[in-house]
């Protein structure tokens, strides 16, 4: 898995080719349908540019939006394997409704159907876990959405982030999280990065991990950790702080950290990169999360790539 991490920044230099490009209709509204690691790209795009009219759909069927949004928007079915049940269902429904449809995958049934139906699609590199192919997915989505400026910024950022320079930081964060249950907090804008950390810890390190965002968590979840219940010390909190977060959010992080520490709970603050080009922050965080998850997996003797139980579950529900 080390080679996958070292190659993560390079993925953001990927220049995809759209097959059946002539049938791709330009839109200003976007729907990203995908599960697990296959929908991460959309959230990261929203983190960098929150003004893009983009929603993420993680379910069967079509997104629950007004009819005009479905008809005017671009629906992108994203499944790294190409065989994700929910995403294939979305794709089928999109075909039935004759929507503006496109697909992203490394192969499988999704690309077979897209090719057969003449639907625009991008084929990305195969042989990776979906969570480790996020750069390819980002560039593919930006291409389908005609967001050339964002694609150029992502390439520029990829030149500046060196994956090996974050290995030590990943090991230090793994040391902090080891033996505990991870809880990752961020601002609402950066929540997709907290979610990326969470799923990496779940799948790669086989570690229970949860995430939430400020300010919402201060209105409910915080009470459970400050209740005086036993075993609170088993939780390890990581706050993904960003100097571009509004001042109220940064204050909430500071006060929440103090309250948790007074309750005997450990908290670590990770300062995200605050460069003008927001893609540096994205790439930096994905690399850090990847190193952290790998070191935790190795520490506990787990294979970082094995997701046998998830695959077995999928077989059971077919």
Write down all domains in the chain, each with its CATH number in brackets: 2-159 (3.40.50.10490), 163-300 (3.40.50.10490)
**C-alpha Rg value of the chain to the nearest Å:** 20
Please, how many CA atoms are within 13 Å of residue 60, restricted to the half-sphere of its CB? 2
Question: Tokens 């079915």 label which residue?
Answer: 77
- Provide long-range contacts, Cβ within 8 A and 24+ apart, for 162-165: 162/9, 163/5, 163/6, 163/7, 163/8, 163/9, 163/287, 163/291, 164/6
pLDDT at 282: 97
Structure tokens at 207: 């570690």
Does this model's pTM top 0.75?
Answer: yes
Q: According to the model, what pLDDT value does residue 201 have?
A: 97
What are 173-222's pLDDT values in tens digits? 999 999 999 999 999 999 999 999 999 999 999 999 999 999 999 999 99
pLDDT-based confidence at residue 266 (cuts at 50, 70, 90): very high
Preceding amide of 215 cis, omega within 30: yes
**The pLDDT of residue 312:** 86
Average per-residue pLDDT for the chain: 95
- At 210-256, the pLDDT tens digits run 999 999 999 999 999 998 877 677 999 999 999 999 999 999 999 99
């Amino acid at each position: 898995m080390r080679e996958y991490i070292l190659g993560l920044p390079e993925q953001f230099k990927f220049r995809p080719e759209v097959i059946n490009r002539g049938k791709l209709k330009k839109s200003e509204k976007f729907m990203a349908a995908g599960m697990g690691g296959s929908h991460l790209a959309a959230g990261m795009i929203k983190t960098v540019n929150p003004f893009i009219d983009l929603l993420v759909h993680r379910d069967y069927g079509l997104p629950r939006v007004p009819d005009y949004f479905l008809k005017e928007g671009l629906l992108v079915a994203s499944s790294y394997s190409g065989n994700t049940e929910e995403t294939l269902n979305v794709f089928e429904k999109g075909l039935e409704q004759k929507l503006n449809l496109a697909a992203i995958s490394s192969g499988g049934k999704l690309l077979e159907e897209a090719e057969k139906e003449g639907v625009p699609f991008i084929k990305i590199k195969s042989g990776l876990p979906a969570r480790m192919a996020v750069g390819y997915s980002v560039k593919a989505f930006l291409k389908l959405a005609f967001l050339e400026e964002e694609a150029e910024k992502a390439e520029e950022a990829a030149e500046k982030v060196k994956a090996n320079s974050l290995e030590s930081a990943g090991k230090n964060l793994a040391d902090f999280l080891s033996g505990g249950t991870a809880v990752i907090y961020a601002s609402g804008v950066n929540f997709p990065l907290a979610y990326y950390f969470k799923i990496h810890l779940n799948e790669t390190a086989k570690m229970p991990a949860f995430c939430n965002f400020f300010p919402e968590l201060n209105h409910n979840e915080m009470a459970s950790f400050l209740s005086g219940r036993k075993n609170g010390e088993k939780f390890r909190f990581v706050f993904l702080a960003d100097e571009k977060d509004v001042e109220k959010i940064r204050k909430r992080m500071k006060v929440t950290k103090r309250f948790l520490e007074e309750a005997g709970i450990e908290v670590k603050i990770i300062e995200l990169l605050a460069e003008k080009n927001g893609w540096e922050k994205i790439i930096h965080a994905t690399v850090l999360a990847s190193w952290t998850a790998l070191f935790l997996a190795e520490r506990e003797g787990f294979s970082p790539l094995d997701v046998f139980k998830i695959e077995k579950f999928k077989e059971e529900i077919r």
